[in-house]
Amino acid sequence: MKKTVKDYIRTIADFPHEGILFRDVTSLFADARGFRMAVDQLLHPYAGERIDKVVGLEARGFILGGAIAHQLTKGFVPIRKKGKLPGAVISQAYTLEYGEAVMEMHDDALQPGERVLIVDDLLATGGTCEAGIRLCERLGAEIVGCAFVVDLPELGGRKLLERLGMSVHVLCEFEGA
């Protein structure tokens, strides 16, 4: 039987807190065929689209985004947690279930009119990606789409991003948080 991307993702119970089923994509990354499949499938809906840069959200979005940027022969832009980037940055606060956090990107990472693909491993509430979208838009970039390996639909992230007018592509879904 042919494996799907979902088959490569392991579930770890009670991490990082009791009652959480953590969807671990490092097992996907560790398998050459699985990783290649994920990168190819993340790119598939954007075939023929003009993409100028790939934006990866900290931290596993760096792994996927770097591979996708390489595949496209395009530049890669990291969006990081506050205080991790040197030089001049712009910041965007966002809400977590237990408080607030801040994401940052270099203030010269994107040029007005550049078309970007935002990539991360997992879509939960959508807060991190929304912050990334806001940062890209503040620099004048146009978002081609947001691509994720895993969606946790019960947490509503996809609906949030679609309400923002984003095209959302996911490879697989898992029920539960």
Q: Of 32, 53, 131, 43, which Cα lies nearest the Cα of 90? A: 131
- Check 18, 97, 100, 175 and give the catalytic one: 97
The string over 93-122, giving b where at least 16 C-beta atoms fall within 10 Å of a residue's C-beta and e elsewhere, is ebeeeeeeeebbbbeebbeeebbbbbbbbb
Q: Which residues does 44 contact at the CB level (< 8 Å), separation at least 6?
A: none
Name the strands in the sheet holding 89-96, side by side, starting at the edge strand that comes first in the sequence: 89-96, 99-106, 75-81, 53-57, 115-123, 142-151, 168-173
Please indicate whether residue 60 is annotated as part of the active site.
Answer: yes
- Check 60, 80, 104, 114 and give the catalytic one: 60
What does the chain come to in residues?
A: 177
Catalytic residue set: 60, 97
